[in-house]
Structure 1
Amino acid sequence: MKTSSKSVKKSRLQLLHQYYSYTGFYKFLGTSLKKALPPILLFIAALLIINYFVIDINELLIYVTENYSDYVVFSVFFASESILGLIPPEIFIAWSDKAVSPILYLSILATLSYLGGIISYFIGKWITKIPSVHEYLEVKMAKHIKNARKWGGFLIIVGALLPIPFSITSIASGMIKYPLISYLLFGLLRFLRFYLYAAAIFSLI
């Protein structure tokens, strides 16, 4: 009986593997990882170069904490995370290390990023109501939209964990009308990303 159960489980895994192979998901994931790794390495290298040859990062962050209120920094970050993620969150993670309570500030940043993603999700839903955008998506981007709907959950996971603007992933999720509850659950991985990156960044500065 146990052997039968194992064989069924194995066959299901094989079918799942075949599905992702045929749909090109593995290729997409590999490409995403290749694109994600260089920015991480470049950021670390840039941080070290700036710290040793240009300006002391610690002094710069202390200057920011002494001259700008926490509300201003949080507001700028929230706006960035809600609109295309224009400013790398790593900068704000480094800033949180100089706060009175780094873990609390880091948690606030992660929460704001998560909420910013939700706003981006609804921006994506709103965009599709524009006739020209709707036509473009349904006609010229039909194949990409079809794949995005297949891999919706994985796209959100990639956007939440990797250095790809989470806002853009969230907008895409809204545009393909990915279920909100599922988006909210997968999006929680955003918190994991902040804590993992903080562990690395805090040790550098």
Structure 2
Amino acid sequence: MNSNSKTQKKTRIQLLHQYYSYTGFYSFIKKSLKKAIIPSILIIVGLWAFNTYVFNLNDGLKHITNTFSTPSILTIFFLSESFLGLIPPEIFIAWSKKMNEPVLMLTILATLSYIGGIVSFFIGKTSLKIKKIRTYLDGKMSKYLKNTKKWGGFLIIAGALLPLPFSITCISAGIIKYPLRGVLLFGLFRFVRFGLYGLAIYKIVE
């Protein structure tokens, strides 16, 4: 009985692997990573070079912290994460290092990004009721809509964990009526993403 169940489980994994291979999921991730990893590395290296040779980032971040209130910065970040991820989260991760409790602030940022993904999901669902918005999103996000229909949860995991547009992935999930529980579950990988980026960026910012 146990042997049969193990065989069945292995067969399902093999079938999933074949499906994602045939539908191009792996090649999509590979291409997306090539496009996204280089800019991400350039951002981190650029922050280091800027901090070392041009302007002390710590002074700049202190100025931002003294000029803008924490709620204002968090609001801007949340809006960005809810609407297409307009501002690179790396900027906010670097800012969090200057807080009295940076790990707590990084966790808050990750939580806001996670909630922003959920908001994006409902934006996608709501767009189905508004023809102009649906037509716009269908045109702008046709590639992601097609891929989300094919790969579902795995694409949400990739969007949450890898340097891919998480908000757009969640909007696509809402448009195709992907189950909310899947977005809530797979979106948790967003916390892993922020933790890894925090480790890298915190080494640059003193």
- Common topology (TM > 0.5): yes
Amino acid paired to 2:65: T
**Partner residue of 1:90?**
90
TM-superposed CA distance for 1:157, in Å, is 0.8
Distance 2:197 2:110 in 1: 11
CA contact (8 A) 1:137 1:145 kept: no
Offset of residue 173 of structure 1: 1.1
Task: Measure the CA separation in 1 of the matches of 2:90 and 2:162.
Answer: 12
Q: Cα distance 1:185–1:9, how it changes in 2: closer, same or farther (>3 A)?
A: closer
In structure 2, give the amino acid aligned to 1:45. Answer: V
1:14 deviation in Å? 2.2
Closer, same or farther in 2 for the Cα pair 1:41/1:74, shift >3 Å? same
The 1:128–1:143 alpha-carbon spacing in structure 2 relative to 1, beyond 3 Å, is same
Counterpart residue number, 1:197: 197
Structure 2 match to 1:51: 51
Q: After TM superposition, list the pairs within 5 Å mapping 1:12-27 onto structure 2.
A: 12-27=12-27
Deviates more, 1:124-133 or 1:48-57: 124-133
**What code does the residue aligned with 1:27 have?**
S
Structure 2 letter corresponding to 1:200? A
Q: In the alignment, which residue of structure 2 is the partner of 1:116?
A: 116
Q: How high is the TM-score relative to the length of structure 1?
A: 0.89
What residue identity is the alignment partner of 2:73?
V
SS of structure 1 residue aligned to 2:164 = coil
Report what 1:66 is aligned to.
Answer: 66
How far 1:189 moved relative to its partner? Answer: 1.0
Amino acid of the structure 1 residue aligned with 2:75: S
Q: For residues 26-175 of structure 1, what are the structure 2 equivalents within 5 Å?
A: 26-131=26-131, 145-175=145-175
Asked whether the equivalents of residues 148 and 169 of structure 2 are also in contact (C-alpha less than 8 Å), the reply is: no
Percent sequence identity over matched residues?
Answer: 58
Is contact 1:82–1:117 with CA below 8 Å preserved after alignment?
A: yes
Per the normalisation by structure 2, the TM-score is: 0.88
Asked if 1 retains the 8 angstrom alpha-carbon contact of 2:157 and 2:189, the reply is: yes
Q: Which runs of 5+ in 1 are unaligned?
A: none
Amino acid across the alignment from 2:155: L
**More displaced stretch, 117-126 vs 11-20:** 11-20
**1:175-194, aligned counterparts within 5 Å?**
175-194=175-194
**1:53, distance to aligned residue in structure 2 (A):** 2.2
C-alpha distance in structure 2 between counterparts of 1:97 and 1:146, whole Å: 38
Cα distance in structure 1, aligned partners of 2:40 and 2:59: 23
